[in-house]
Amino acid sequence: MAGGCGAGGGLPAELDGEADVFCEALRLLRIEPSAVSLGAGQEGGEAPCSRNVLRKRRRWERVLAARRRKRTQERERSRARRAENPGTAIRNGGRALASLAKERLLQARDSGPRLCIDLGMAAHMTEKETSRLASQIRRLYGANRRAEKPFWLYLTEFAEGSLIYRECLRMNDGFCNYLMDTTQESYLDLFPLDAVVYLTPDSENVLEDIDANKVYILGGLVDESIHKKLTLQRAQEQALQTARLPIREYMVKSTSSRNYHSETLAINQVFDVLSTYYTTRSWPAALTAGVSAGKGYVLPDAVK
Ligand SMILES: C[S@@+](CC[C@H](N)C(=O)[O-])C[C@H]1O[C@@H](n2cnc3c(N)ncnc32)[C@H](O)[C@@H]1O
């Protein structure tokens, strides 16, 4: 035979259709297929396969059958594992969600909306407050990652080696991989002034809508009233527009809460309001998401 085991070369009937497998088997057994006599139709007549070759062929067929059995068993085992442990499917789903979140964040980087946490007031906080601020940044970032329509986030005046910098690294796993911009610069150096809206609970202006062309600034502060009007004064000195959340426009003071009412929220709560509003365009839904019962405000229909 002039080489090869191609079909149609006068193979015995029992080999017909298995020629490729047989050739492959021979190659793997390091026997040149051209060196093998395959019987009927071969040059020289009816010469049968040598006993040696037949033995090797049977051995190879056994190997192939064992491999097929092993593959079938593996498939059955992994099917059973998936049925018993849906966590695997969840992990795969988790990867898909992470890539969707990344895609949405990068879209927000290109087309807004943008939110900036102003860390230029660190000197007004104690170590404990700074640590709480780092946790609030983590919560805010997590909520933004899960959001259907996220914001692109900036941390400004975020000085390497500062206490807030160290606390962010210490308290927030994977902080270095957060998808956001961090800079030592001020928002004044990054954005046109007429695009900036400083959100402050003490503003006279009410935030009515979120504009993807604006940049909303949150004061990086953890305090209720000690530094009252600190961000309002800062924004006024910088001649910036300011706005407060429309809490008193949509909510009423709850009578049940120890007579304590505050419109000052933590930055992650403000973010929950902004994010829910940006997705739903409903202030009642947004305020319900961010204004906790402890603030002493409820929606009117919640008052009995
Ligand atoms: C805990 S508050 C700090 C309050 C602080 N006394 C001040 O002068 O801003 C943290 C930040 O969340 C934002 N914030 C909190 N409540 C707000 C509200 N009702 N409206 C708008 N922004 C608010 C502000 O940016 C504020 O600086």
Q: Do 99 and 78 fall into the same domain?
A: no
pLDDT over threshold 80, residue 295? yes
Mean pLDDT of 126-144: 96
In the chain, % of residues over pLDDT 70: 80
Q: Is 229 in the pocket of ligand 1 (CB under 6 A)?
A: yes
Q: Do 162 and 134 fall into the same domain?
A: yes
202: in domain: yes
Query: pLDDT band at 58, cuts 50/70/90?
Result: confident
pLDDT over threshold 50, residue 95? yes
Residue 212's pLDDT is what?
96
Give whole-number Cα distances, 132 to 93, 135, 163, 166, 170, in Å. 32, 5, 12, 13, 12
Q: Do 46 and 146 fall into the same domain?
A: no
Residue 23's pLDDT is what?
52
143: in domain: yes
Distance 273 CA to ligand 1 centre (A): 12
pLDDT over threshold 50, residue 14? no
279: in domain: yes
Amino acid identity of residue 302, one-letter, is A
Mutate to test the pocket of ligand 1, among 115, 132, 221, 295 (most ligand atoms within 8 A of CB): 221
CA dihedral 199, 203, 204, 210 (to 10 degrees): 0
pLDDT over threshold 50, residue 132? yes
Asked if 40 contacts 46 with a C-beta cutoff of 8 angstroms, the reply is: yes
pLDDT over threshold 60, residue 174? yes
Token pair belonging to 115: 């939110």
Q: Which residues contact 49 (CB under 8 A, 6 or more apart)?
A: 36, 37, 38, 39, 57
Last residue of a domain, one of 46, 63, 84: 84
Q: Is 251 in the pocket of ligand 1 (CB under 6 A)?
A: no
Name the nearest CA neighbour of 272 among 261, 293, 286: 286
Q: Do 60 and 97 fall into the same domain?
A: no
The CA distance from 272 to 173, in Å, is 21
Q: Do 159 and 224 fall into the same domain?
A: yes
9: in domain: no
Q: Is 295 in the pocket of ligand 1 (CB under 6 A)?
A: no
283: in domain: yes
146: in domain: yes
Q: Is 267 in the pocket of ligand 1 (CB under 6 A)?
A: yes
Residue 3's pLDDT is what?
33
Answer with the residue of higher pLDDT: 172 or 38: 172
Residue 170's pLDDT is what?
96
Return the bridge partners of 45, or none: 42
| Domains contained in the chain, number | 2
Q: Do 97 and 154 fall into the same domain?
A: yes
Q: Which tens digit of pLDDT belongs to each residue from 209-235?
A: 999 999 999 999 997 667 889 999 999
Distance 198 CA to ligand 1 centre (A): 9
Q: Do 109 and 225 fall into the same domain?
A: yes
pLDDT over threshold 50, residue 278? yes
142: in domain: yes
Return the bridge partners of 199, or none: 218, 243
Distance 110 CA to ligand 1 centre (A): 27
Amino acid identity of residue 260, one-letter, is Y
Q: Which tens digit of pLDDT belongs to each residue from 147-163?
A: 999 999 999 999 999 99
Q: Do 121 and 48 fall into the same domain?
A: no
Q: Do 157 and 207 fall into the same domain?
A: yes
Q: What is the CATH number of the domain that holds 291?
A: 3.40.1280.30
The CA distance from 269 to 247, in Å, is 12
Q: Is 218 in the pocket of ligand 1 (CB under 6 A)?
A: yes
Asked if omega into 300 is within 30° of 0 (cis), the reply is no
**DSSP state at residue 114:** E
Q: How far apart are the first and last CA of the chain?
A: 98
Residue 13's pLDDT is what?
38
For residue 226, the ligand 1 atom closest to its alpha carbon is 6
Q: Do 94 and 131 fall into the same domain?
A: yes
List the residue whose alpha carbon is closest to atom 24 of ligand 1.
200
The CA distance from 217 to 139, in Å, is 17
User: Whats the size of the chain, residue-wise?
Assistant: 304
When the pLDDT of each residue in the chain is averaged and rounded to a whole number, the result is 84
Asked if 115 contacts 155 with a C-beta cutoff of 8 angstroms, the reply is: no
Q: pTM of the full predicted structure?
A: 0.73
Query: pLDDT band at 48, cuts 50/70/90?
Result: low
Query: pLDDT band at 46, cuts 50/70/90?
Result: very low
Asked if 223 contacts 124 with a C-beta cutoff of 8 angstroms, the reply is: yes
Residue 287: which domain range? 87-302
140: in domain: yes
The CA distance from 151 to 169, in Å, is 22
Asked if 92 contacts 53 with a C-beta cutoff of 8 angstroms, the reply is: no
Q: Do 41 and 152 fall into the same domain?
A: no
For residue 198, the ligand 1 atom closest to its alpha carbon is 25
Q: Do 99 and 79 fall into the same domain?
A: no
Distance 121 CA to ligand 1 centre (A): 13
Mean pLDDT of 127-135: 95
Mutate to test the pocket of ligand 1, among 126, 129, 187, 270 (most ligand atoms within 8 A of CB): 270
Distance 253 CA to ligand 1 centre (A): 19
The CA distance from 144 to 152, in Å, is 9
pLDDT over threshold 50, residue 165? yes
- Minimum mean pLDDT range among 84-88, 189-193, 197-201, 266-270: 84-88
Q: Is 270 in the pocket of ligand 1 (CB under 6 A)?
A: yes
Residue 89's pLDDT is what?
62
pLDDT over threshold 80, residue 253? yes
Mean pLDDT of 230-251: 98
Mean pLDDT of 123-127: 92
What Rg, from alpha-carbon coordinates, does the chain have?
Answer: 35
